[in-house]
Structure 1
Amino acid sequence: MTLVDRLFRQDDWRTVPNAITLVRLLLLPVFIVLIVDRHYWSSMVVIAVVFLTDFVDGFVARKTNSISELGKWLDPVADRLTVIAVVAAFALGGLLPWPVFVLILLPDVLLSIVSLVAFGGASFPVTWVGKVRTAFIFTGLLLLLVGVALVDQGRVDGTAGLESVGQTVETVASVLLVIGLIGHYVAAVIYGVALGRRMRDR
């Protein structure tokens, strides 16, 4: 059975959770444009919606028993695409250094190549470490965006207090991002071990 058959023909893939995941993916280019154009307050709304959909789709799938093969494949892929696209937007907007983007991108690229060569592509399992990692990264990015917006607004208004608050928020955001980045590599190691075990058991 091909990947297409398994994802689209084996069961009913037209589910609400899959639609929510699709909305998340469609919002990513919108977020990138907003960040690059420095529409920080508007981009906050978009990233907050993206963050919520990451948890809502799985919750709805479990509560309505509408788990599909496509959903099990699409959700973790969407998680990784979301993290990559959002961090890329921050780098393109000058809010994060490019090395951070590379550090986030590197493990997923390497694991995807191994998965593609060994199995012709395999889904990334959703783990609690991965979900916690995503929560830390998204929360850190959202706070970073709030901090940058406050600093920017403080400089425009000439309000030193607002700028100072923004800088404090940026510091807290940086700590959360470091924790999220560590979790990112822990999740990659867990998947790598599972991938290696699967290769040995073939």
Structure 2
Amino acid sequence: MNLPNLLTLSRFALIPVYVVFFSTNQLKTAFFIVVLAGATDILDGYLARKRGQITQVGVMLDPLADKCMMLTVIISLLASGMIPWQAAVAMFIRDAGMIAGSAFFHFRGKQTVPANSLGKLTTVLFYMAFLFIFFDFSFAVGYLWFVIGVSFIASAIYIVLFLALNRETDTAN
């Protein structure tokens, strides 16, 4: 266990904290909990690379922590009526698919593709969409749909990179 992995685990602990603030209608505080989770994501990645502390546990738990927080936010926004169910379903399908696919292939010994710039950009765009939604901007839902489209493009690119990486690995063996 190292500091980057502890930071990743802290993101799991922030999920119920977010839920408490969101469910008590403290939306601005709930949003800042999501931002705090995002900050720990940036920090753990930076520390893991800088200190050479990248671990298989971290590689698996880091995106899982991110996706769990995102799914929690999506469900809470849906339950409160702040986003349409179609947007929630689209985001859920994408995130659940990424979690299930990553776990399925990880446990079959396949290599995973590290986060790329488009994936990181998508995360930033989602955080912006959440900001607009939480602070009730009139264009928030339209912007969210744009981000959902970008996220599906990012996922398609990830799949292509994953297949290419594992094709090279399979060919080399």
2:128 match: 139
Which has the higher mean CA deviation after the structures are superposed, 113-122 or 77-86? 113-122
Which of 23, 26, 31 aligns to 1:39? It is: 26
- Identity in percent: 25
The answer to whether the 8 A contact 1:136-1:180 is kept is yes
**Cα RMSD over matched residues?**
2.6
Counterparts in 2 of 1:62 and 1:38: CA distance versus 1, 3 Å:
same
Cα distance in 1 between the residues matched to 2:15 and 2:138:
22
Does the aligned pair in 2 maintain the 1:108–1:188 contact within 8 Å? Answer: no
Which sections of structure 1, spanning at least 5 residues, go unmatched?
Answer: 1-13, 148-168
Q: How many residues align?
A: 167
Q: Name the aligned partner's letter for residue 127 of structure 2.
A: F
TM-fit CA distance, 1:131: 0.9
Structure 1 position 102 matched with structure 2 position 69 = no
1:17 to 1:118, Cα distance in 2 relative to 1, 3 A: closer
Q: Does 1:29 align with 2:46?
A: no
Q: Rg: which structure is higher?
A: 1
Q: In structure 2, what is the equivalent of residue 127 of structure 1?
A: 116
1:193 and 2:160 correspond: yes
Alignment of 1:24-173 (within 5 A): 24-113=11-100, 120=107, 123=112, 125-147=114-136, 169-171=137-139, 173=140
Measure how far apart 1:81 and its partner are. 2.0
Structure 2 residue ranges without an equivalent (≥5): none
TM-score by length of 1: 0.70
Q: Which runs of 4+ in 1 moved over 6 A?
A: none
Q: 1:119 to 1:23 in 2, by over 3 A?
A: closer
Q: CA deviation at 1:61?
A: 1.6
Given that residues 17 and 57 in structure 1 are in contact (C-alpha distance below 8 angstroms), is that contact kept between their aligned partners in structure 2?
A: yes
TM-score scaled to structure 2, two decimals? 0.80
